[in-house]
Amino acid sequence: MKGVFLVMSTVLTGLGIFSFGLISEAQAHVFPVHSEPKVGQVVNTSPFLVRIWFDGKLEPAFSTIEVHDLKGARVDKGDGRVGPEDRTLLKISLPSLPSGIYRVFWSVVSQDGHLTEGDFSFTIRVSQ
Amino acid sequence: MVLHSILLHSIVRWLDFVGMIVLVGGIVFRYLVFQPGLTASDLAKEEMDSLGKKTERYNRAVIAISFLLLIMTLLVDFVLRSQMISKRPLFELPSIFYVILFKTHFGWVWMIKFILLVSLGMIGWQKRPLRGISLGLSGLFCLTYTLSGHAANRSDFSPDVLADWFHLLAVSAWIGGLIQMRLLMPRLLISLNDETAHRLLTRMLGRFSTLAGICVGILIPAGVLSVRLRGVTLDSLTETPYGRILAVKLLVVLPVLGLGALSRYYILPNLRSIKPPFLGNLLLSFLRNIGRILRLDSPGRNKRIKVFLVSSIQSQFFLFITVEFLLAMGVLLFAAILTQTPPPHQMGP
């Protein structure tokens, strides 16, 4: 019986190690489904809001969003929050912004307690 | 989350699963298999009293060990999860414990889980059996695992949660019962004479097989539904990390199911009829012939052969169940790794 224990434990440990090898480095448990403005979108007017919808509910206390310009300066109004009416929506207000490339940084915690982070850019090209 | 962190979270979650399954499965086994099986048995009153006392001691030990394991994993999981959520170093964590406990879904579920665990521990320690309450609290305790996992990301009242909960309930009752069959039964059988031990084992295995059959009937459709709702397709079984780990888990599940079927359709009928199993037939024929050749025929020969056969069937049963138990521990390990791995999703905004 001891032999059985030993062989089985070795096989299972090997399979377990193999499984850890199957996991890639970056892990996350809720993902963005879509956003406004979209990733890489060029818009003609400065948007009032940046909104990102996720595929799961978010924890408001630990979910953040910021918008920066190319120099790294923060340009949003600092009111980033999870939409109270829709717990899958993360949004932040923007002042009227000049033409340029802007980067949105987001960090959210899902209901299962896992953290996801990411960023994307959009461009404002105000027509003359 | 980096690999060493996933490893740590997975090991803690695995120990958590083992503790939960020992506790919940032990309660289910006690109230749905052992006690009714013992009551319906034809054992003498003294034998039943003696078995009752032994079982009581054993149950208390199981509750104490699983309770300590669960308390430990619950606390470690809380610290690890707090660190992951807040991205703060360990020494700064106490300052945000309040926010995590009272302002996050995870925190509320964690507190409910803690209360349920303490309640289960206290009720389990009582000598007076509280069947309905224990089974009900065990079910709710399993639900807290579902509500702090992938299934609850969409909503607490979604088909994902229901499917995951049923899957977990069935696995706990089956694997937990299996552990009891492996650990408790030999302790009880050793104190009985061969014939009584054989009758008791046959009765308990019969009841446990029925329970296990019902559990498998629930866990397979619930598991399939659960992974389908998480976006797992046949393609994703090879293309995504979640799918690949799930595929390995399924590969380990198959022999567990096979061994379960072997116990149900091979060992149990043989125990009931005391028929020799495959090689046993040859062995029986050999024993009869050697007896005749060596003139060892004696009045007690048939009885001795019967005892030998029963003990060989029992040995096979305990060997199968040991392998099944070890494989089940492996399944739990893969289930724990899956809780730390994102299911397949539609990526990108």
pLDDT digit string, tens, across residues B213-247: 999 999 999 988 888 887 788 888 888 888 889 99
Q: Indicate whether A95 belongs to any domain.
A: yes
CA dist A37 → A41, A67, A94, A113, B141 (Å): 6, 12, 12, 27, 43
pLDDT, average across residues A43-68 = 92
Residues from chain A that touch B6, judged by Cβ atoms under 8 A, are 20, 23, 27
From chain B, the residues in CB contact with A111 under 8 A are: 105-106, 152-153
CA distance, residue A66 to nearest chain B CA (Å): 16
- Chain B residues in contact with A52 by the CB 8 A cut-off are 349
pLDDT of B99 higher than 80: yes
- Structurally, chain A folds into a number of domains equal to 1
For residue A6, being part of any structural domain is answered with no
Chain B residues touching residue A64 (CB < 8 angstroms): none
pLDDT in the model for residue B292: 58
Instruction: Flag whether A93 is in a domain.
Output: yes
Report CB contact under 8 Å: A16, B345: no
On whether residue A24 sits in a domain, the answer given is no
For the ranges B105-114, B255-264, B277-286, the lowest mean pLDDT is seen at B277-286
pLDDT of residue B346: 41
A4 or B236, greater pLDDT: B236
Contact call for residues B315 and B189 (beta carbons, < 8 A)? no
Distances (CA, A) of B236 to A24, B233, B245, B307, B343: 15, 5, 11, 52, 9
Decide: A42 and A125 in contact? Cβ < 8 Å.
yes
Interface contact B1-A115, CB threshold 8 A:
yes
Q: What is the CA radius of gyration of chain A?
A: 21
Q: For residue B276, what is the DSSP state? A: P
pLDDT band at B289 (very low <50, low <70, confident <90, very high): low
Top pLDDT among A115 and B283 is at A115
| Shortest alpha-carbon distance between residue B144 and chain A (Å) | 11
Chain B's closest residue to A15, CA to CA, is B248
Query: How does A86-103 read in b/e, with b if 16+ C-beta sit within 10 Å?
Result: ebbebbbebeebeeeebe
| pLDDT higher than 90, residue B173 | yes
The enclosing domain of A110 has a CATH number of: 2.60.40.1220
For B100, nearest residue in chain A (alpha carbons): A61
> In which element (H, E) is residue B31 found?
none
Smallest CA–CA separation between B329 and chain A, in Å? 9
pLDDT band, very low/low/confident/very high, at A52 (cuts 50, 70, 90): very high
A-B Cβ pairs (cutoff 8 Å, strict): 132
Residue A10 has pLDDT above 70, yes or no: no
Taking contacts as CB-CB distances below 8 angstroms, the residues of chain B near A65 are none
Q: For residues B259 and B324, is the Cβ–Cβ distance under 8 A? A: yes
B139 pLDDT more than 90: yes
Where does the pLDDT of residue B15 fall: very low under 50, low under 70, confident under 90, or very high at 90 and above? very high
What number is the average pLDDT over the span B261-268? 84
Residue of A nearest to B77 (CA): A113
- Higher-confidence residue: B50 or B210? B210
In chain B, the percentage of residues whose pLDDT exceeds 70 is 86
Neighbouring residues of A46: CB distance < 8 A, sequence distance ≥ 6: A94, A95, A96, A97, A98, A124, A126
Supply the pLDDT for residue A24.
47
Distance from CA of A123 to the nearest CA of B (A): 16
Angle between helix B301-339 and B3-28 (nearest 10) = 140
Which of A12, A57, A113 shows the shortest C-beta gap to B326?
A12
The answer to whether B134 and B31 are in contact (CB under 8 A) is yes
pLDDT band per the 50, 70, 90 thresholds, residue A25: very low
Work out the average pLDDT over B190-199.
Answer: 80
Q: Do A32 and B341 touch (CB under 8 A)?
A: no
The pLDDT, as a whole number, for residue B278 is: 52
Predicted local distance difference test score (pLDDT) of residue A47: 93
* CB-based contact A32 B342, cutoff 8 Å: no
Contact (Cβ atoms closer than 8 angstroms) between residue A57 and residue B154 = yes
- Mark yes or no for CB contact A12/B330 under 8 Å: yes
- The mean of the pLDDT values for chain B is 83
Query: Which chain A residues are Cβ-neighbours of B327 within 8 angstroms?
Result: 8, 12
pLDDT at B172: 94
| pLDDT given for residue B349 in this prediction | 41
pLDDT at position A74, please?
94
Q: What is the pLDDT of residue A77?
A: 92
- Residues of A with CB below 8 A from B155's CB? 57
The Cβ-side half-sphere exposure at B320, using a 13 Å CA radius, reads: 21
The confidence band for A18, taking pLDDT boundaries of 50, 70 and 90, is low
Domain range annotation of chain B? 3-339
Are B81 and A39 in contact (CB < 8 Å)?
no
CB burial string B46-78: b at 16+ within 10 A, e below: ebeeebeeebeebbeebbeebbebbeebbebbb
Q: What average pLDDT does the segment B340-344 reach? A: 80
Q: Nearest-CA distance from B146 to chain A in Å?
A: 9
Q: Give me the phi and psi of A10, to 5 degrees please.
A: -65, -45
Distance (Å, whole) CA B309 – CA B285: 12
CA dist., res. B267 & res. B259, Å (int): 10
Over 80: is that where the pLDDT of B18 sits?
Answer: yes
Q: CA-nearest residue of chain B to A19?
A: B245
Q: What is the pLDDT of residue B116?
A: 95
Q: From residue B288, how far is each of B73, B244, B270, B279, B329 by CA, in Å?
A: 56, 53, 19, 14, 42
Say which range, A65-69, B153-157, B314-318, has the weakest mean pLDDT: B153-157
Q: Check B342 against A20: CB less than 8 A apart.
A: no
Residue A41 in any domain: the answer is yes
CB distance B85 to A92 below 8 Å: no
Instruction: Quote the ipTM score.
Output: 0.72
Output the pLDDT for position B298.
54
Does residue B325 sit in helix, strand or coil? helix
Helix, coil or strand: residue A69:
strand
Pairing of strands A49-54, A89-93: antiparallel
Q: Which domain holds residue A50?
A: 32-124
Please give the pLDDT value at position B42: 76
Q: How confident is residue A2, by pLDDT bands cut at 50, 70 and 90? A: low
Cβ neighbours, 10 Å, residue A17? 10
Question: Is there a contact between A22 and B7 if contact means CB atoms under 8 Å apart?
Answer: no
Statement: residue B19 has pLDDT above 60 = yes
Q: Which of A33, A81, A111, A121 to mutate to test the interface with B (most CBs of B within 10 A)?
A: A111
Element (H, E) at B330: helix B301-339
Residues of chain A positioned with their CB less than 8 A from the CB of B152: 111-112
User: Measured between alpha carbons, how far is B230 from B242 in angstroms, rounded to an integer?
Assistant: 10
Dist CA B257 CA B140 (whole Å): 26
Bridge partner residues of A54 (DSSP): A32
Chain A CB contacts of B329 under 8 Å are 12
- With beta carbons less than 8 A apart as the criterion, state whether B180 and B222 touch: no
pLDDT of residue B3: 65
Q: In this predicted structure, what is the pLDDT of residue B17?
A: 94
Using the predicted structure, report yes or no on whether residue A105 has a pLDDT greater than 90. yes
Answer whether residue A16 shows pLDDT above 80.
no
Residue B348 pLDDT exceeds 50: no
- Edge to edge, the sheet with strand A64-69 lists A42-43, A115-124, A100-109, A64-69
- Reported as a pLDDT band with limits 50, 70 and 90, residue B347 is very low
The CA distance from B302 to A95, in Å, is: 95
Confidence of residue B2 (pLDDT cuts 50, 70, 90): low
Question: pLDDT for B267-279, tens place per residue?
Answer: 888 777 765 555 5
